Amino acid sequence: MLSLLTWNVNSIRKRIDGLARLAETTNADVICLQETKVDGHLFPTDAMTEIGFPYQAIAGQPGYNGVAILSRWPLHDIARIHHCERQDARHIAATIRPEDGAPIDEAIQIHSLYVPAGGPIPDPEANPKFAHKLKFLDAVADHFAGGYGYRDPMVLMGDFNVAPLPADVWDHLKLSKIVTHTPIEIAALERLKRSLAFIDVVRELIPADDPVFTWWSYRAADWQAVNKGRRLDHIWVTPPLKAHIAGVEVLVDVRHWQPPSDHVPVLLKLGKPPAI
């Protein structure tokens, strides 16, 4: 069984204890992080090694953005990927291989992705940040469609900053005019999904009309009672891994941990396909 986890930590240096706790409670083999908010040379590599992740792929940026892949197994072919002619630290990839002892049958490429939030106004002409978000999603779709095949075993996970389904937000009608749930963003995310026939593992196992959230605003003191959440954090796999999906869990209780991120982790377990 291979366990992979994604978490927007909203500053890794504030969440070191939380990551140690996650490593112990989930026994994850691979953790993808977003919004590490630290330059590469200041990344807490020693602390991550101490909690069981000696292999690290890091794309850092001072003060904001930042993605990483932490692994118990060696990481190969590490690539920091740029989009839209910017050097933002929003996309990093690496491969784990069975010959290194990883509990898999073939090499799997793992991507940690952090999509821009897009600002408050859902109008690309009035809001350059929203226009960039749409261009970024298109660029990532082009990257996958042009550089890989849908038969390549791959896991794409991270904070996509889009809640695509009505049950991915607390109020579909109200949020349809709010950034993260507008039709134009959902269409852009769907194009990215089609680029390699990706499978949304959460909705593969949890019915599409069941509410699932991974983000709650800091503004609500009692966020769980109010429960105005959105599903912004995703794990997708390519078709060769569909039969390997053994379980998925949104770790809602992590939102209570102090100090909290406004996002919670999502955990995927991959196992051997069931016998026919």
DSSP assignment of 203-255 equals: HHHS-TTS----EE-TT-TTHHHH--EE--EEEEE-GGGGGGEEEEEE-GGGG
Contact 240, 151 (CB under 8 A): yes
- Going from the first residue of the chain to its last (276 residues), give the mean pLDDT of each consecutive group of 10, the final group possibly shorter: 97 96 97 96 96 97 94 98 96 97 94 98 97 98 93 97 98 97 98 98 97 94 92 98 97 96 98 69
CA–CA distance, 108 with 153 (Å, rounded to integer) = 5
Phi, psi of 163 (to 5 degrees): -105, 100
> What's the pLDDT at 63?
84
- Assigned CATH topology for domain 2-270: Deoxyribonuclease I; Chain A (3.60.10)
Which residues, in sequence order, are CB contacts of 16 under 8 Å at separation 6+? 44, 47
* pTM for the full predicted model: 0.97
